[in-house]
Structure 1
């Protein structure tokens, strides 16, 4: 007899507060995303929020369900609240973790590379430029497509691996920043693992930068059935 394991769908999103016009002008695209994500039929929805705001998240979700909250420029409120409400979920689950990412900061890593390793700095800028070219899409649906595209995710991972080379044997500044980033994603994957049960279908709405490591950590455990986000995004 086969053992039932949880099914997990990771959907990479962007921070809507940085691009509010996509919400203001493309309501129909948001509705299309909602319609296709509904076909996954999640039993739980996890979001990129820390546990420290769990009560606030619960309050705002209940207000939304009562019709007392207009979703703001926030990916959780734009995507998570409508989906959870459609399935009459009692709540959403925050799975982010609070990790100090300032010692060193990413800006300090770039400044070191710019000053001490100009050739490596130009390599990093080159990959970032290619990422920007891939991001050159006009619609919200197109944006979600490239954020979840394996080619884009692989190119983004190239940036991280180049950051590991920033510094020297005495000053592992790039490695130190990446340790913070890996700690955060490892903590998120642990929070997800503690959340799911054997018959769950868990939808995780997460910043696309986290997709590579989260998929790797969750897949490596062998405890989950990971599904392709492209199967649940509008064509």
Structure 2
């Protein structure tokens, strides 16, 4: 198994919740429907296959004891009604999780809709909320595409990316190969455990290494793109905050694993929330069938 070269760094810690805080359990996932919108896109096999469906049921069974008040998902908060109308169709048994259906695309940059039923939002988020008999899920995302302005694109083409300090670099091609191989050899639970381990939570840090260099004169195109990334994650947290009430104890957020490191940091800074790792609920002995 190839292992991508990682950057050495201090190991962050997960804070300990206090009784008055709302716990936000962070489950980092891969995009099972392959939208192809990330810097490194895992080549997902078909989660509608019988073996993967059994593994998804097992994953949800491990998460069920978390005693959740809500399941939040990476879908636009602006489409809350539409998302929950779809969730209701699954919850009431009108649509089965192992059947192929087409729905409106989940992202403004995606034109096709044939893979939507394979999304982790449905296969993990809906399935978990369904198992817990929740009447709704919480769509909390505010999608943004980074670097989609002419100034950024010009600087991306012209930037001198020669490092000023010789630090280890993350090889994206090697990372892609490693992630694909691991998914092929792993069960769904086992792969999610890997994605939520500390080393994997930093695979998205390469965007800082790259984007921060884009700029010249009065242009800060790279830092501005990173600011949009922070804004998106802050808005997710804000949308969770809008949804909870005084009786809420615990929310689980199903979100792309590249978000977990920054969400942990931002949730730690908000005193009324506490980020919680999903690793304790993901057993290491879950082998592929």
TM-score, normalised to structure 2's length? Answer: 0.70
Q: 1:222 to 1:130 in 2, by over 3 A?
A: farther
Choose from 219, 222, 228 the match for 1:180: 228
**Residue in 1 aligned with 2:241?**
193
Does the alignment pair 1:152 with 2:168?
A: no
- In structure 1, what is the equivalent of residue 24 of structure 2? 8
1:172 positional shift: 2.4
The question of whether the paired residues in 2 share the 8 Å contact of 1:20 and 1:73 is answered with no
CA drift of 1:90 comes to 1.0
Rounded to whole Å, the distance in 2 between the matches of 1:34 and 1:205 is: 12
Q: Following the alignment from structure 1 to structure 2, what is the Cα–Cα distance between the partners of residues 34 and 20?
A: 19
Which runs of 5 or more structure 2 residues have no equivalent in the other structure? 1-17, 35-43, 98-116, 285-289
Partners of 1:228 and 1:92 in 2: CA distance: 20
Matched-pair contact (CA < 8 Å) for 1:12–1:148: yes
5+ unaligned residues in a row in structure 1: which ranges? none
**Equivalenced residues, count:** 229
CA 1:118–1:217 in 2, change beyond 3 Å: closer, same or farther?
A: closer
User: Where do 1:64-83 residues align within 5 Å?
Assistant: 64-71=90-97, 72-83=117-128
Could you list the per-position Cα deviations for residues 111-132 of structure 1 after superposition, in whole angstroms to 9, with x for gaps in the alignment? 7456432435xx8974424533
Kindly tell me: are residues 54 and 155 of structure 1, through their superposed partners in 2, closer, same or farther at Cα, counting changes over 3 Å?
closer
Question: Is contact 1:15-1:75 (8 Å) kept?
Answer: yes
The aligned residue for residue 58 of structure 2 is 32
TM-score by length of 1: 0.85
User: C-alpha offsets along residues 75-111 of structure 1, whole Å, 9 cap, x if unaligned?
Assistant: 1111122211222111001110144535338x93xx7
| Maintained 8 Å contact 1:51/1:97 | yes
Q: Secondary structure at the match of 1:149?
A: coil
Aligned partner of 2:83 in structure 1 is: 57
Higher helix share: 1
CA distance in 1, matches of 2:74, 2:192: 16
Q: Which residue matches 2:12?
A: none
Tell me what 2:258 maps to. Answer: 209
Cα distance change, pair 9–21 in 1 and its aligned pair in 2 (3 A):
same
CA distance, structure 1, for counterparts of residue 127 and residue 89 of structure 2: 12
Distance in 2, matches of 1:102 and 1:168, equals: 12
Among candidates 119, 125, 128, match of residue 172 of structure 2: 128
CA contact (8 A) 1:47 1:80 kept: yes
Query: Is the 8 Å Cα contact of residues 33 and 234 (structure 1) preserved in structure 2?
Result: no
Contact residue 46 and residue 203 of structure 1 kept, 8 A: yes
Tell me how far apart the structure 2 counterparts of residues 16 and 40 of structure 1 sit (CA, whole Å): 23
4+ runs deviating over 6 angstroms: none
Cα distance in 1, alignment partners of residues 157 and 216 from structure 2: 18
